[in-house]
Amino acid sequence: MGQEPIRVGLMGLGTVGSGVVRLVKNHQEDLLQRAGRGISIEKILVRDKRKERSVQVDPALLTDRPEEILHDEGIDLVVEVMGGIEPAYTCIREALEGGKHVVTANKDLMALHGTELLSIAGDKGCDLFYEASVAGGIPILRALTEGLSSDRISAIMGIVNGTTNYILTEMTRKGTPFADALANAQDLGYAEADPTADVEGLDAARKMVILANLGFHTHLSLEEVPVRGIRDVTTEDIRFAGQLGYVLKLIGIAKRDAGRVEVSVQPALLSGEHPLASVDGVFNAVYVHGEAVGETMFYGPGAGEMPTATAVVSDLVTVVKNMGLGINGRGIVAPYCEKRWKSPREIFAKHFLRLRLADEAGVMAALTGIFAEAAVSLEKVLQVPVSQGGEAEIVLVTHTASEHQLEAVLRRLDEMPAVRRLMSHYRVEGGDR
Amino acid sequence: MGQEPIRVGLMGLGTVGSGVVRLVKNHQEDLLQRAGRGISIEKILVRDKRKERSVQVDPALLTDRPEEILHDEGIDLVVEVMGGIEPAYTCIREALEGGKHVVTANKDLMALHGTELLSIAGDKGCDLFYEASVAGGIPILRALTEGLSSDRISAIMGIVNGTTNYILTEMTRKGTPFADALANAQDLGYAEADPTADVEGLDAARKMVILANLGFHTHLSLEEVPVRGIRDVTTEDIRFAGQLGYVLKLIGIAKRDAGRVEVSVQPALLSGEHPLASVDGVFNAVYVHGEAVGETMFYGPGAGEMPTATAVVSDLVTVVKNMGLGINGRGIVAPYCEKRWKSPREIFAKHFLRLRLADEAGVMAALTGIFAEAAVSLEKVLQVPVSQGGEAEIVLVTHTASEHQLEAVLRRLDEMPAVRRLMSHYRVEGGDR
């Protein structure tokens, strides 16, 4: 323990960066015990050196030039918490190529360039850890790579965006419409001024790509993932779903059957008994199904200064331990499974459909005929009173059907004049237990 | 990858042992990729070599003499899944002293002799892993030692015994009395013929000692942990608790404040919103509160052949990886925090009390006077109709009070003639959010 402390260059001093500074300072003694060496933040990259900060730092540490960290031979480890693709990508690349270990919280970057950066890290004998990039304080990446390393993961389902989960929880509990719930989330600082990445499901998709690549040992690209956001979700959908025993959540779904994978993000209905169904507010949770272990779930804060900083600094501790053992870069397992996407004929789920129908004789028979023709059977049917004259509303939940079958049904419904409108449709998960 | 496989000696071929054999066999290719070397089970210790097995093994591998494994220089790694203290303790000691790495699922042993065995392992440069000893398939020990390594853990609460959680779930959902629910659990194989260790809370206490020692970096002894089982829990208690918004669970509680710890196991009431409240049936979950990360929870199967085997084989993969890196035994952090138990004046909780009172004038005033005298204020009061004449029943929930205060109240209640009987009392957790 008499060794010099590890010299760290911190890139970014926003929310997470400030948390890292605080945690390293407040837990100094514990970190020394656990890592075997002290941790010293030597330089901090900021955009504006004169800006006032919520955390106290020696102004002499601040710099606005990345090369002051990247070209400093004395710095062993770079912590990147700037976010976004550039300059983060260039900085991390350069750090790794210069033999520096990297800890990052950057999901955008890891979803897009993770495989490439990990391969550089492996070549250079550097660690590249990114636990904080998915589900903030939940150590889910370690669970996948180590805790469940003996198992074959068959499904990963995640509530991995706290903003949308908060909005949907408000819509569910209080009946608040989407726009108001979003405004509340913005007032509380849970949603950004431009909420697109959260609300459209893009943020969740990035995290799901990271999870699926780790869990399935493959290399999937973000642009291949179908994504649907929550803008069109209505409180009526949520209420009808509730009547049938379901909860509506923005769910990332990654499944693997016989070596073929599917990954998607969408608002979906969960059976009330599913472990994810009771995950409310800004909390995150990742459900992992392994062939041998069965159902597991990892729950915790998905964002926030200190939770995310905890994940960053835990990675930092691992890098320091690895340095003591001389094993940096050795933990990286290159993706060894070929990428094979499922076709729409191989993706199976139940589906919830809400339809506005003409209130005429024979409509129900015609409707159920369409499902029968596509060999899709119905599990639940709910007739809903409608105030407008001449129309009836009906809510259906199918038994398990392929996406291909569902598309056939939707096409036929669209052609049927008595179907006035498809109000909404959602995938349904977790009702088979 | 051209290396010889790691030679493993398996001690025990019961439920978990069979699962280990199955997993190593079925996941051979994956394990090779992840561990970097094959895994070969070379010898299996059994009590009766002629007994029929649910898993197919080469009879030539079976032995009934531990020394055939312990004295075999070619065996690098011992997997102990016999359970119980002896001969497991002697075997593991001998294995470690002979320089063999050990993976065990033995909670009894690790709760009693964990600190000693870990210190031998450290001295000998051997790994000793025991993920499977707590909460079966949930990688909770890794979460504590690695995922949350940068944080200071302030509380660990666990539903770590599936048998009692199943029984309490049946009692809650169906109103089944304790004895019948226990009998059902035995019929289903969830409870053993002698259910003492589960029902009396001893099994949970062992797991809590392991968790608390890891989370708090200290060395607590099993016999210091107050334990109360669920034999006296009634369906009435559960029903009244439910009316007040609580769920009754057997909870292991480990908390640390200002360096002082408490660890206990008891049936306790959880606020319905607590993440542990929805953990039902044979599932386990461990809730971890860290100063920085806040609330996290780890959920999964607490027992069973394949889930437990997953934890064992994941440990095995880590040993093999560590062998490749030459770092066995280096991950063991000796307990560095002094053991300091809280006094009853430092243990705080809310409490639920159910009392049978004489139905006389002035009783309520006298009763509330007792609480006021001990400076315990009341949060909830529920008057319950009683069929028997001359008696009234009342359910109280206090605000947070010390154990010392509660004891004073209980003593005074015992002396008060109008209090006919203290029907039950439980600690209450998680209602402050």
Q: B290-348, pLDDT tens digit by residue?
A: 999 999 999 999 888 999 999 999 999 999 988 988 889 887 777 888 889 999 999 99
Left if phi > 0, otherwise alpha if psi is -120 to 50, otherwise beta: which for B339? beta
Return d(Cα B127, Cα B76) in angstroms, integer. 11
CB contact under 8 A, A310 and B293: yes
What pLDDT score was predicted for residue B387? Answer: 65
Which chain B residue shows the shortest CA-CA distance from A289? B300
Same domain, B173 and B272: yes
Count, residues in chain A: 433
Same domain, A87 and A183: no
CATH number of the domain encompassing residue A403: 3.30.70.260
Judge residue A334's burial from the number of C-beta atoms within 10 Å of its C-beta, 0-12 exposed, 13-18 middle, 19 or more buried.
exposed
Average pLDDT, chain A: 93
Q: List b or e across A78-117, with b for residues whose CB sees 16 or more CB atoms inside 10 angstroms.
A: bbbbbbeeeebbebbbbbbeeebbbbbbbbbbbbbbbeeb
pLDDT score recorded for residue B222 = 93
**pLDDT tens digits, one per residue of B404-418:** 999 999 999 999 999
Q: Are residues A129 and A54 in the same domain?
A: yes
Residue in chain A lying closest to B330 (CA): A325
Residue A433: the pLDDT is 41
Cβ pair B267, B235 in contact under 8 A: no
Provide the shortest C-alpha distance from residue B100 to chain A (in Å). 20
**Of the partner residues B217, B300, B330, the one whose CB lies closest to the CB of residue A293:** B300
**B307 to A294: CB separation less than 8 angstroms, yes or no:** yes
Find the CATH number of the domain harbouring B162: 3.30.360.10
Pairing type for strands A153-159 and A283-290 reads antiparallel
Q: Is residue B343 part of a domain?
A: no
Among all chains, which residue has been given the structure tokens 């606005």? A64
Domain contains B341: no
* Of the partner residues A131, A150, A294, the one whose CB lies closest to the CB of residue B31: A150
Question: Percent of chain A having pLDDT more than 90?
Answer: 79
Burial class (CB in 10 A: 0-12, 13-18, 19+), A240: buried
C-alpha span between A212 and A264 (Å, rounded): 10
Q: Determine if residue A429 is labeled as part of a ligand binding site.
A: no
Is the Cβ–Cβ distance between A26 and A60 less than 8 Å?
no
Is A17 among the annotated ligand-binding positions?
Answer: yes
Give yes or no for a contact between B254 and B217, defined as CB atoms under 8 angstroms apart: no
- The yes-or-no verdict on residue B2 having pLDDT over 60 is no
Distance between A36 CA and the closest CA of chain B, angstroms: 10
Are A415 and A376 in the same domain?
yes
- Do residues A121 and A151 both lie within one domain? no
Interface test with A, best of B134, B146, B273, B287 (most A CBs within 10 A): B146
This complex has an ipTM of 0.86
Q: Phi/psi at A284 (nearest 5 deg)?
A: -115, 160
pLDDT exceeds cutoff 80 at A164: yes
Omega within 30 of 0 (cis) for the link into B87: yes
A145: confidence class by pLDDT, cuts 50, 70, 90: confident
Confidence of residue B1 (pLDDT cuts 50, 70, 90): very low
Position B32 confidence tier, pLDDT thresholds 50, 70, 90:
confident
**Half-sphere exposure of A187 toward its Cβ, with a 13 Å CA cutoff?**
7
What's the rounded Cα separation, in Å, for the pair B343 and A200? 52
Residue A371 covered by a domain? yes
Residue in B92, B123, B156 with CA at minimum distance from that of residue B296: B156
Angle in degrees, CA B63, B307, B264, rounded to 5:
105
In a domain, B157, yes or no: yes
pLDDT of residue B174: 96
Looking at the 3D structure of chain B, how many domains does it have?
A: 3
Confirm whether B363 is domain-assigned: yes
Q: Which residues of A are catalytic?
A: 207
Cα end-to-end span (Å), chain A: 52
Nearest to residue B306, comparing CAs of B10, B78, B24? B24
pLDDT of residue B430: 84
Strand order in the sheet with A39-45: A62-63, A39-45, A6-11, A77-80, A101-104, A128-129
Contact assignment for B298 to A301 by CB distance below 8 Å? no
Contact B160, B252 (CB under 8 A): yes
The band of B30, judged by pLDDT with boundaries at 50, 70 and 90, is: confident
Say if B336 falls within a structural domain: no
How would DSSP label each residue in A373-410? HTT--EEEEEEE--SSTTEEEEEEEE-SEEHHHHHHHH
Catalytic residue status for B249: no
DSSP A320-354: HHHHHHT-TTTT-----SPP-BPPTTT-EEEEEEE
Torsion angle in degrees (nearest 10) through CA of B38, B43, B45, B50: 120
Is the pLDDT confidence value at A387 over 70?
A: no
Structural domain for A358, as ranges: 348-429
Q: Are residues A108 and A147 in the same domain?
A: no
The nearest CA of chain A is from the CA of B364 a distance in Å of 37
Among B150, B309, B317, whose Cβ lies nearest the Cβ of A27?
A: B150
* Residue B340 domain-assigned (yes or no): no
Least confident stretch, A68-82, A253-267, B23-37: B23-37
A181 shares its domain with A272: yes
In this prediction, residue A162 carries a pLDDT of 94
Q: Is the pLDDT reported for residue B9 higher than 70? A: yes
Phi, psi angle pair for B333, to nearest 5°:
-100, 115
State residue B372 phi and psi, 5-degree precision.
Answer: -60, -40
Residue A306, annotated ligand binder? no
Amino acid identity at B98? G
| Whether residues A13 and A102 fall in one domain | yes
Band (pLDDT 50/70/90 cuts) for residue B433 is: very low
pLDDT at A137: 87
Q: What is the mean pLDDT of chain B?
A: 93
CATH number for the domain harbouring residue B17: 3.40.50.720
A171 and A285 belong to one structural domain: yes
**Amino acid identity, residue B64?**
D
Q: Which of B43, B100, B207, B249 is catalytic?
A: B207
pLDDT band at A124 (very low <50, low <70, confident <90, very high): very high
Q: B147 pLDDT exceeds 90?
A: no
Task: Indicate the pLDDT class of residue A104, thresholds 50, 70 and 90.
Answer: very high
Q: Are B35 and B8 in contact (CB under 8 A)?
A: no
pLDDT band at A336 (very low <50, low <70, confident <90, very high): confident
Residue A2, pLDDT above cutoff 60: no
pLDDT of A389 above 80? no
Task: Give phi and psi for B381, each to the nearest 5.
Answer: -135, 130
CB contacts of A217 in chain B (<8 Å) are: 33
**A387 among annotated binding-site residues:** no
Average pLDDT over residues B166-175: 97
Of all residues in chain B, what percent carry a pLDDT higher than 90?
79
Same-domain status, A289 and A317: no
Q: Quick one: pLDDT at residue B35? A: 82
Assess if residue A341 is contained within a domain. no
DSSP class per residue in A59-128: GGGEES-THHHHT-TT--EEEE---SSTTHHHHHHHHHHTT-EEEE--HHHHHHHHHHHHHHHHHHT--E
A307 neighbourhood in chain B, CB within 8 Å: 292-294
Residue pairs between chains A and B whose CB atoms are closer than 8 Å: 178
Report whether A300 contacts A307 (CB < 8 A).
yes
Rounded CA-CA distance B375/B100 in Å is: 58
Q: Residue A432: what pLDDT?
A: 58
The predicted pLDDT at position B401 comes to 96
Backbone angles phi, psi at A168, to 5 degrees: -65, -35
Q: Do B149 and A301 touch (CB under 8 A)?
A: no
Does B122 show up as a binding residue in the annotation?
no
Domain match, A263 and A371 both? no
- Residue A292 and residue A154 share a domain: yes
Over range B38-58, report the average pLDDT: 92
Q: Can the peptide bond before residue B307 be classed as cis, meaning omega within 30 degrees of 0?
A: no
Q: What pLDDT band is residue B282 in, cutting at 50, 70 and 90?
A: very high
pLDDT at B432: 58
